[in-house]
Amino acid sequence: MKSSKEMTDSLFDRRDEYMKQQRTRRGLMTAIAGGVGCVALVALVGFGIWGAVNNGMNNPAPTISDMKVIWADSSYMEVTQNGVSTKLENAINSFGKDKVFAILAMPEIDYSFKYQGKTLEELSNALREEVMLPEKLWQLLKSGDFLKYGEALYTTGTPEGEKWDKALYEQQINFFGKDLLEKYIVDGQFLSEKVEQDIEKAEKNNTAQDAYNKAMSAYLEKIASSVNGSMPSQTVPERNAIIIFLTGDAFSEFKADHSEGWIYDLAPKGGNTTQVTVDVMTVNP
């Protein structure tokens, strides 16, 4: 049977692996960076109906005959000061403003948007807490045996001679929060075994993540359905973005709610975008 120290060391080893996996989730909280790459001219082949996701539109998608759409062959992006990537600007200048471009549009998020009674802001805060909870519990596993002494930790010190600076003590109290501390420190006793059990549960919990993803998808679908492009827009929830299909001329006139905060790039073909039968010719703009 493992000793308490061996169990704790094993737990922290698992934490290191868990935090590597969590980097993807934490990336959800940060702005999306991109870059610049080559451009692919994609010719949609044959006659028919664009059967892509219609994002809630009641009207059937337009017939596409001999329509050519300019896509990027790389997701790398550089953004200019006006929010439009140099890759998209170069493509429009190279192929002409009469061509249709697949434009990856990252709208400014309206966090007051409500989904099933909760705003995106509320769901985002819940997600942040869910992502941070395992790390808080790991930190508490280190500090709990000290914090159980309360203010004595910085006034008189512990029976073992441990004494903290008051500022450090208050910083730790603020970090963990009253509710968390009262849950795991009861009658002056630190419930370390309960912390260990709850760490494993917290690692596997994706409830807030799922709720946020559904709300963000609904928000993007609402935005996508409002764009009157050459073809129905598509949503790209994993990038908090939509793909709109506009000619260069239409893009120069494009306006949307809070569009001054949008970021635009030439969309890369593939990923979760709708797949169609295509002939691809890669060119350098």
pLDDT tens digits for range 231-276: 999 999 989 999 999 999 999 999 876 667 899 999 998 644 443 3
Residue type, 194: K
Nearest to 59 by CA among 243, 223, 229: 229
Amino acid 117: pLDDT = 97
Nearest to 72 by CA among 249, 246, 277, 283: 283
Phi, psi of 113 (to 5 degrees): -60, 130
| Overall pTM > 0.85 | no
Q: Is 61 in contact with 43 (CB distance < 8 Å)?
A: no
Q: Is 29 left (phi over 0), alpha (psi -120 to 50) or beta?
A: alpha
**How far is residue 64's CA from residue 47's CA, in Å, rounded to a whole number?**
6
Question: What average pLDDT does the chain have?
Answer: 78
Of residues 72 and 260, the one with the higher pLDDT is: 72
- What are the tens digits of pLDDT across the range 190-203? 999 999 999 999 99
DSSP one-letter code for 253: T
- What are the tens digits of pLDDT across the range 86-138? 999 999 999 999 999 999 999 989 999 999 999 999 999 999 999 999 999 99
> What percent of the residues of the chain are helix, what percent strand, and what percent coil, each to the nearest 5?
45, 20, 35
